[in-house]
Amino acid sequence: MLHAIDIAGMVCPNNVFLAPMAGYTNEPFRKMCEFLGAGLTFTEMVSAKGLHYGNEETKHLLYCGAKEKVARPKAAQIFGADPDIMREACESEALAPFDLIDINMGCPMPKVTRNGEGSALMENLPLAEKVISSCVKSGKRISVKFRTGVDAHRKITAEFAKMCEGSGACMISVHGRTRDMIYAGPCDFAEIAAAKAAVKIPVVANGGVWTVQDFREILEKTGADAVMVARAALYNPRVLCEITGRETPPLLPLFLEELRATREIYGERFATVFMRKMAAFYIKGKPCANAYKRRLFEAQNTVQVAALAEEIFQNEE
C-alpha cells in the first residue's frame, strides 16, 4: 500500500501526504512532518487576492526556507475565484519554489464561501473549470482539493472529479465529507471510490485517517492512490512514522527543534503563542494534560515554553 507516486513527473517518495491546514502547516511543522515520513506537504491555504495586492502576511505563509541539497517535492495551496488572479498567483515569484499548486475548492468556512471561493465553487462548475484551466496555463502542475458536495442531497464527487481532470488538473484530493459536515462525521468511502473510477489522474483520499489501520482501510475501500493526514498530525505527528514504517523518534527533540525553527523564522512572540498551542495538541489525552495546559498558556516566552516541554516530554517516550 505504501509506495512512491508520480504526479505529472513529480516523484514523491511515498503516498502519505500532510494535508494543508490553515494556521498550522507552516515551514517548521512541514519540515518536521517530512522528517517523520510525509511524502508531500502542503502550505496553509493562501489567498490569491492577498498575493495580488502584495499582502506581506500572505507572502509569509509561503516561506519555505533555503533550497535543500536533496530537495523533496513541495506543494502550496491557494484559494480564489477570479481566474486571472489565480493564474497570476501561480506565476508569481512567491509560488516559484513550489512543485505543485493545489487549488482549494473544499473549504467550508463562511468567510471563504461567501466570496464564492473554497467549496462555493462546487456550486459553480463553469467558474471552477475556468479557474483550473487558467491556473494550468501558468505552466505549473495544478491539483484540486474538494469535498463530496454541499450536502447529502447534492453529492457531485465523480462529476466534479471529471471536470477537474478535463480542465487540466494532474491530481485531485477528495475530502470524503460534504460542506455542511465541516470536519465531523464519517468519511464517505463510496464517493471517493466514485471519483477514482471517474478519472485517470492520481486521487488522494482525505478524511478520518488517525492510525495505520485507517490508512489501510481508506485505500482498500476507495482505491485511492494516496492518503492525506490532517488533524491526526497535529495531535500526534509521529503517526506519520507509524504509517510509513519508520523508526519513531523521541518527541522532546522534535518539539525543541520545531520551537527553535519557529522562533528563528517568525520571531519570539509568534513562536511563543504558536508552540504553546502545539504543545497542547501533543499532550492531549495524557495524564495531567489539563494542568500542563494551564501552565503552558501562562508561559511568556520561548524559554519558558522549552522548559515546560522538557518537563512534559522528557519521560513521555
Q: Which residues are catalytic?
A: 107
Neighbours of 55 (CB within 10 A): 14
How many whole angstroms separate alpha carbon 249 and alpha carbon 71? 22
Q: For residue 211, what is its C-alpha cell? A: 492510525
CB atoms within 10 A of CB 256: 17
Give me the count of residues in the chain: 317
Amino acid identity, residue 214? Answer: D
DSSP letters of 77-111?
A: EEE-S-HHHHHHHHTSGGGTT-SEEEEEE----HH
Cβ pair 175, 144 in contact under 8 A: no
Distance CA(281)–CA(233), nearest Å, equals 10
Q: Which of 176, 126, 180, 119 is nearest to 153 (CA)?
A: 180
Q: For residue 216, give Cα distances in angstroms to 210, 220, 221, 244.
A: 11, 6, 9, 11
Residue whose C-alpha is closest to residue 102's, from 180, 17, 20: 20
Residue spans of alpha helices (H) in 114-166: 125-136, 157-166
Residue 239's H or E segment, with its range, is helix 239-244
Number of helical H runs and strand E runs in the chain: 15, 10
| C-alpha span between 245 and 37 (Å, rounded) | 9
Q: Cα–Cα distance between 205 and 172 in angstroms, integer?
A: 9
Closest alpha carbon to 146 in 195, 189, 210, 100: 195
